Amino acid sequence: MTKNRVVDWALAEYMAFGSFLKEGIHVRLSGQDVERGTFSHRHHVLHDQEVDKRTCVPMNHLWEQQAPYTVCNSSLSEYGVLGFELGFAMASPNALVCWEAQFGDFHNTAQCIIDQFISSGQAKWVRHNGIVLLLPHGMEGMGPEHSSARPERFLQMSNDDSDAYPFSEQFEVSQLYECNWIVVNCSTPANYFHVLRRQILLPFRKPLIVLTPKSLLRHPEAKSSFDEMVSG
């Protein structure tokens, strides 16, 4: 792929994370099976086949003066884990803090964290938070609780002020600033790369809900060129 100057979903994520580490920005990823990715696409932790519990995270050995990359599998305790990551993102606004559900609708057991703290945090406590929720979903025949991350719930909980007139010189930035969170459904690896980069480059913090794919992880047409991942 690199010889052909193209990236797939996993490599776009790797490049987004790696670019932050090079810039001194801590990246943290937790959730079920995040070290390899639920669909075995990520491979961020290597395990020694001869020595028990001996592991290596290659992304922590890219540059001499880089920021740390923390990646850790968590238990199926979404309520507690997402609450912890929300607090970590609050305390470290300059870090990229991501929580990934094993399947998108596994966020159901963390629903009170999403409803009470993430969706309304800015309106209730005037606090910004840049936590990222990665919710893989799609109708791939995996049955109940494995098919949909319920994007309609997130859209229903998005604020909509009928008195706000967003069209101005700073329309794009003001639109992002006024919303309570950002909900995206990326269709190309370049989309995903840029939305992760923007999460830190914005002058403020906002929760990001990413409805990540399953079939697109390996789809031959779900590729992006290097040219689509530069500035502009």
Distance CA 118, CA 200 (A): 17
Domain that holds residue 106: 2-228
In 3-state terms, what secondary structure has residue 70?
A: strand
Domain count, the chain: 1
CA–CA dist 231, 176 (Å, integer): 20
Between CA 6 and CA 1 the distance in angstroms is 5
Q: Identify the pLDDT of residue 173.
A: 79
In this prediction, residue 99 carries a pLDDT of 97
Amino acid at 183: V
Please report, for the domain that includes residue 102, its CATH number: 3.40.50.12470
50-86 tens-digit pLDDT: 999 899 999 999 999 999 999 999 998 999 999 999 9
Contact of 96 with 172, CB cutoff 8 Å: no
Encode pLDDT of 178-199 as tens digits: 889 999 999 999 999 999 999 9
pLDDT band at 144 (very low <50, low <70, confident <90, very high): confident
The helix (H) or strand (E) run that includes residue 66 is: none
For residue 121, give Cα distances in angstroms to 113, 118, 218: 10, 5, 36
